[in-house]
Copies of this chain bind each other. A is one copy, B any other.
Amino acid sequence: MHYEQIKVELLAFLTPEQVSDNDIIRAQHGQDESYHVPALPDLVVFPRSTQEVSDILKIANTYEVPVIPFGRGSSLEGHIIPYNGGISIDFNEMNAILAIEPENLLVKVQPGVTRSQLNQALKKHGLFFSVDPGADASLGGMAATNASGTTAVRYGVMRDQVRDLEVVLANGDIIHTGNSAAKSSSGLHLNGLFVGSEGILGCITELTLRVYGIPEHEVAGRAVFSSTNIAVQAVTAIKHAGIPIGRVELVDPASIRMVNQYSETDYPEQPTLFLEFHGNEAGLQQDIEFATEILQDFGCSHIQFESDTAARNQLWNARHNLAYAFIHANPGKKLMSTDVCVPINELANAIEFARKELEVSGLIGGLTGHVGDGNFHALIMIDLNHADEVTRAKQYNKKIVEYALSIGGTCTGEHGVGVGKMEYQQQEHGNALAAMKAIKHALDPKNILNPYKLI
């Protein structure tokens, strides 16, 4: 291939430390945190400016070789694996927080900044960034996959936080997808399109993001139910009553059992809701009284609220330790997670279906859900060397996805498509998939940007 020549051309404007074909470096950029099979890039580059990214893309476009933007490698569907080789663009040297604007409730950051790095810097301004996908992902990567997590029910997903992106297109053009105003009806809305585009339309080189004032008061709660179905109904009732929920997570008995083993605790091994409410003191008090009434109306057998920070963390312990508990109990196995999102009124049935099918599959796993949004995960531990187990896990995933699609849901609520959910795109999007492909072709006619991903 042309990579020797490409390397020479890259070294005309990058330092030797910024261009690597070292095997270890390539291997580090050949896998994410998922069960998907690794593959190596031909080169890894570490740009330090938007202009360098633009120049890299111009070369890649000339030679028609793949480019794969890389943040922290914490994706869960193989998004950053270079199955067709090419140049992995590692954004970790573009990790500056460029501006914090408290008056505008905005920040401007480079794509390599991680969410914990940003929150650390925001704390002294009394501000926080809301999206929490679990992993300490890069903000560029979180925008590329439209990440979300436990706080989406209150603050929205990554797409809701993005005011503007600086993006380098396949031809090296540098564009802005939005602006710093709170709203705009000007031009086509490229912000929404580029968030979640998984690197197939361009490389994100700067983000302008919304941030929020740290809530005056927070209260955490845990409520235990006799059935998953009733727990989900209780959440729906709280939402419908207009009580603003900060977070609400469902954890199933199998997962609580795993946590009890891991943490040597004795939480009741029953369907459990973990809740959080944010607001002013008086309002919170009234919200919690009202929520407690509703939870009790639905036959909640145990209920506890805590407002002190340490007690809150203790209360949420079982939810926080969930993935670790599964990984710890299953050495040598890899975590596979389903990720469907369904209309709220279908959620209880969808979770019940997933629970039954998990039993049928014989796989080790548990269910947890961002139930305020209708998004839930089956966490499954699989041995990648055990072909039958992998096959059963994939079949299980497929059943869950097809069930979700049959009731107006989506194959992925927050992890994205990558390579893992490509097979469901036609089924989910129908004729719209052709429109998506037309847009991809219009913006990247040589198909160099993270090719053969997403669509």
Interface residues of A (CB under 8 A from B): 101-106, 145-148, 152, 157, 159-160, 169, 173-177, 179-193, 195-197, 201, 212-216, 236, 239-243, 279-287, 290, 341-345, 372-375, 404, 408-417, 421, 424-425, 428-436, 438-443, 454-455
Contact = CB atoms under 8 A, between A and B. Distances in A.
Contacts of A345: 101, 103-104
B442 A186 contact: no
A429 B187 contact: yes
A75 B324 CA distance: 55
B425 A435 contact: no
Contacts of A408: 179-181
A387 to B, nearest CB: 28
Given A185-B196, A193-B193, 19 more contacts: A106-B343, A147-B185, A152-B183, A157-B183, A169-B431, A175-B429, A175-B435, A176-B429, A181-B374, A181-B408, A181-B413, A183-B413, A184-B341, A184-B413, A185-B417, A189-B193, A190-B435, A216-B242, A439-B443
Q: Which of A169, A181, A280 has the most C-beta atoms of chain B within 10 angstroms of its own C-beta?
A: A181
B417 A175 contact: no
Number of copies: 2
B193 A431 contact: no
A432 B175 contact: yes
A181 B410 contact: yes
B195 A189 contact: yes
A240 to B, nearest CB: 6
Nearest to A208: B408
Given A152-B183, A175-B431, A181-B374, A188 B282 contact: no
Contacts of A242: 212-216
A435 B408 CA distance: 31
Contacts of A159: 189, 192
Contacts of A454: 187-188
A454 B417 CA distance: 32
A180 B361 CA distance: 28
A186 B417 contact: yes
Query: A-B pairs with the 4 shortest C-beta distances?
Result: A192-B192, A283-B283, A442-B442, A213-B242
Nearest to A342: B181
Contacts of A160: 160
8 contacts: A101-B345, A105-B240, A146-B185, A181-B410, A182-B341, A186-B425, A188-B201, A438-B443
Given A106-B343, A188-B454, A182 B282 contact: no
Contacts of A212: 242
The winner among A147, A179, A425 for most chain B CB atoms within 10 A is A179
A186 to B, nearest CB: 5
Contacts of A415: 185
Contact of A455 (B188, B435, B436): B188
Nearest to A169: B435
A50 to B, nearest CB: 12
